[in-house]
Structure 1
Amino acid sequence: MNATPPLRTPASRALATVAAALVGMRYSFGPGITLPLIAAVLLLPVWWPALRTFRWVRSLMTLGALAVISGAVLSLAFADGRTVDQSLLARESLTLLSMLCGIGLLIWARTQLGTSQLVVAFAIGALVNVAITGGNTTNLWKFSLSFPVAFLALALAMRRSRWGELVVLAVVAVVSVVADSRSFSSFAVIAAALVLLQLMPLREFRSRLWLTLGGLALLGVTLFLVIQTLLVEGVLGSAAQQRTQAQLDASGSLITGGRPELGAATALLGAQPLGYGSGTLPNAMDVIIAKNGMEALHYDPDNGYVDRYLFGGHFEVHSVLGDLWIRFGLPGALFALLLLAVAVHAAAVRVSLRRASALVALLLALGTWDMFFSPLLTSYNTLALLLACALLSNSERARLPRSRTVSPSLSRIPSPRR
């Protein structure tokens, strides 16, 4: 039996707007104490019941909570002679709890606001955070503004037409190329391709879902190779061309050349597959193992970035999956993989039905990349947003077509609230 939908009132909608904005801010008061965490604790009786209307979410939350416990147990009982920092353990545990709370708050907020208004609130919160902190002035668009501006523009465009979404994605891609943000321009191109893919005729939804999943994977690989070729040929700028060629010369792959942290993560987890613990500090041997893994990718790891950022008083491998696995053990890795699997499946269902907005497409491309190649701390709120926007509620699932033909169109996307 489907759970009763959460009651919508002006007060609950206002509260949901504030909650979504706080998740977008990701502002921290201390070691891991974030605004989403505080808001989620205060609003727990409100948002927890809403999770019953979405499959897998409570299982995901439970697995995440087990991962928090696993990280503490690994540090306190299986540190194997390594130093354990209690404040680090608290900070990393609270960071993962903030991610879980962000997921819960955003899913509940969607039931109150709908997807478009949810993302508008989230993006405004992220922009407020940039205003408060000043952002990363090294490249303000690339590191601070690109995500919230693109989310805000796409949330507004999804109320109108596919054409508006495609125009927004084109502008985002061009601005990102000019601002030397290769990855985000690639995400915009992939999202545009997913929007265009939905203009093709569709028959037999349920028999085509797995074909859609395979098509998404093939599309991603194809677009990656095309974008790599454009970069190497200098079509996207000489600066991007030089860096891309240098990365290819170093390791033979744009991914491993641009993300040598992958070598560190692989080596560390190969040495200790069960993980290290959320409060465990890397010892000298751990650093040597990690550096050897990076050297295998033809990267020189003897620099301040590796010694201070990656392994200076904590484990950081620039990967959500790697960070969760190393800090929280196998439950952390399973949590990451389940989150991605649920999000990809939900997005594929929407693509199959021609109901995946450009926003969901962009979040899917971004979230997939972040899961393997971005730090947990800077990615957990956008991954929470991906899940909140992509998931179908039980009532939406009940209305899924068993078999029908969907004609391609450029009409606006049906609201998730309907």
Structure 2
Amino acid sequence: MRAEARPGAGAAADATLFSWLSGGLPWWKALLVVGAFACMIPPWAARMPSNAGLTMATLVGLVLLIPVFVDRSTPRVVHVMALALLLWLALSIATASVNGSDLRWSIFHSVRPLIVVADLAFLVWLLRVPRRWPLAIVAVLLGSCIAGTIGLYSYTVGQPDLWRFAFGPSLSPLIVVVAAIQWHRGRRAWALALLVLIVSVNVAAGLRSVLLQCAVAAAAALVFGIAQRLRFRWPLIATSLGMVLIVLSVIPVYGAVAESGALGRQQQEKWRLQSDVAGGIILGGRPEFTLALNVLPLVPVLGLGFDPTIPANIAEARDARAIQHVMTDIDRVVSRTDPKYPSYVADSSTKLLAYWARPSHGIYLHSGVFQYWLWCGPLVVVPFALVLMAGLMLVGRASRRYGAAGVLGASALLTKFTWDTLFSPLGGGGLALMALIVALLAADTIARKEQPAQQPAADGDFHVGGLVSASHGDGARRGADRATEQS
């Protein structure tokens, strides 16, 4: 079942990575991918690592991904991601054995890369069957709800924040990707509606980081579209400058609104906690980021393996930096104000972060970059910086090929990578996102070298696996869309 070319698609199909993503996925494999995605929701929804649904969902998800990996017609970049996934799981198990951690706890953190792989595989399906994306969304939502319910109530373990831990982190990026595809196909009303929907849901759910990631991607796409419409010579540079101005404008405005209490008490307290930390909002956006800067210089020798020695003078730093709460048992760290947020401790006189110093595991930081820094030394920043550069290159290539739609999708991926590596725990999907960005860029580069030069497309046209659509919503394209849908 091949996608039919639209009328006027005389040029050869684009032979780069993006054409690989648009073909080679039959319907039965698509159902397996959707099933795999649905089975990956319970690990997000499960509150405790001992949840029986956790291990079951992880194993079922791996089994359902096997056909995607072994089928030769699957795009090579999906194979790369499957290999990266298996390698990441193996390293996680090895790390768990070295640390003496519970294997299920390691799996609990390792399933997040599974969602990244499922996002990519689901994107393959969306590009393969462009006229059936509403059915795809319904299938994913339904499967997520069913699997999430199973995960929630296995062993009668409930989750007080469904969107934050279950549906938000996985569905929000998918909806942004779908919006990018619709934007590219000229259905900008649908794209804007999806973006407004996901932003509204995340605002109602409490201004989580998922909202920030989606908002940054949407803002970058809109600014790029405006720069193109105004015929800037270098629209990507104009977009970068525009995003800097937006960030510099939004932070003080948000701070003033949050300080006034208009966004609720939780946001008001969070803003005060962030802005009171030494270094301002940039370092205080996550207090553990500031903690990392304060703790790392005190470690006598960086890179002591998986069990770094806690220096004796850490108590002095704790007193000097108002880091006053140390727990040696991670399972017993409980906030005095809200049990759902065990890493924050607050009372009437102090607002501070509880960090975990476990004798058997060393110092645990809520930042993947700084955790690796603590383990391996400052040179570990180099690969993260290289991946960041690769992500920026990916945004540039996507912008030249797909305009604002490409900026939307690539910016969402890059923003998620940046946030997860800086402000998420070591067990997050940062490594999988690194592999994804590098695989996308490498596969696109290899494809360009392997294939002969293609006839350049007409100005303003974009190619997606033989599907040609004009960059502006002119009448000819709308007529072609209607003819295709009728056929």
TM-score (structure 2 length as normaliser): 0.59
Indicate the residue corresponding to 1:247 in structure 2.
274
d(CA) in 2 for partners of 1:102, 1:49: 18
Residue of structure 1 aligned with 2:151, choices 129, 133, 143:
133
What's 2:254 paired with? 227
1:181 counterpart residue number: 207
Q: Mark the CA change 1:15 to 1:168 in structure 2 (over 3 Å): closer, same or farther.
A: closer
Tell whether the 8 Å contact from 2:420 to 2:428 is kept in structure 1 after alignment. no
Residues 50 and 108, structure 1, Cα contact 8 Å, conserved in 2: no
How far is 1:375 from its partner? 1.9
The residue number in structure 1 matching 2:27 is 10
Amino acid at match of 1:141: W
Higher gyration radius (CA): 2
1-structure distance, mates of 2:381, 2:265: 38
What is the Cα deviation at residue 346 of structure 1? 1.8
Q: Is residue 2:368 matched to residue 1:317?
A: no
- SS of the aligned residue for 1:377 comes to coil
CA distance in 1, matches of 2:406, 2:459: 17
Question: 2:326 is matched with which residue: 295, 302, 313?
Answer: 302
How far apart in 2 are the matches of 1:195 and 1:229? 27
Number of the residue aligned with 2:169 = 147
Q: Which residue matches 1:342?
A: 390
- Once the two structures are TM-superposed, the CA of residue 372 in structure 1 deviates from its matched residue by 0.7
The alpha-carbon distance between structure 1 residues 75 and 9, as it changes in their structure 2 partners (threshold 3 A), is closer
Q: Which moved more, 1:251-260 or 1:375-384?
A: 375-384
Q: CA deviation at 1:373?
A: 0.6
* Deviation of 1:172 (Å): 3.8
Q: Distance in 1 between matches of 2:26 and 2:370?
A: 41
Structure number with higher strand proportion: 2
C-alpha distance in 1, partners of 2:435/2:137?
8
Q: 1:325 to 1:300 in 2, by over 3 A?
A: same
Residue 64 (structure 2) pairs with residue 50 (structure 1)? no
Give me the whole-angstrom Cα distance separating, in 2, the residues matched to 1:334 and 1:36.
33
User: Equivalent of 2:99, from 79, 85, 91?
Assistant: 85
Q: Distance in 2 between matches of 1:100 and 1:331?
A: 24
Q: Give the AA of the match of 2:276.
A: D
Structure 2 CA distance, aligned partners of 1:294 and 1:221? 32
Once residues 146 and 191 of structure 2 are traced to their aligned partners in structure 1, the CA distance between those partners, rounded to angstroms, is 24
Equivalents in 1 of 2:64, 2:201: separation in Å? 35
Q: What residue is the counterpart of 1:263 in the other structure?
A: 290
Q: Decide whether aligned partners of structure 1 residues 106 and 189 sit closer, same or farther in structure 2, where only a CA change above 3 A counts.
A: closer
| Structure 1 pair 327–45 and aligned structure 2 pair: CA distance change class (3 A) | farther
Shift of 1:31: 12
More divergent stretch after superposition (175-184 vs 379-388):
379-388
SS at match of 1:310: strand
Q: 1:210 to 1:403 in 2, by over 3 A?
A: farther
Q: Structure 1's 133 and 337: CA in aligned 2 closer, same or farther, altered over 3 A?
A: farther
C-alpha RMSD of the superposition:
5.5
Deviation at 1:184, TM superposition (A): 4.0
Q: Distance in 2 between matches of 1:374 and 1:148?
A: 15
Residues 143 and 99 of structure 1, relative CA distance in 2, 3 Å threshold: closer
- Provide the TM-score with structure 1 as the length reference: 0.66
Instruction: Determine if contact 2:288/2:365 at 8 Å carries over to the other structure.
Output: yes
Deviations 1:2-30 (A, max 9, x none): 79957333333333333444455547755
Give CA-to-partner distance per residue, 1:129-187, whole Å, 9 cap, x none. 53233397444334434334534654555537333333443344444444432544444
Q: Is the 8 A contact 2:32 2:64 kept in 1?
A: no
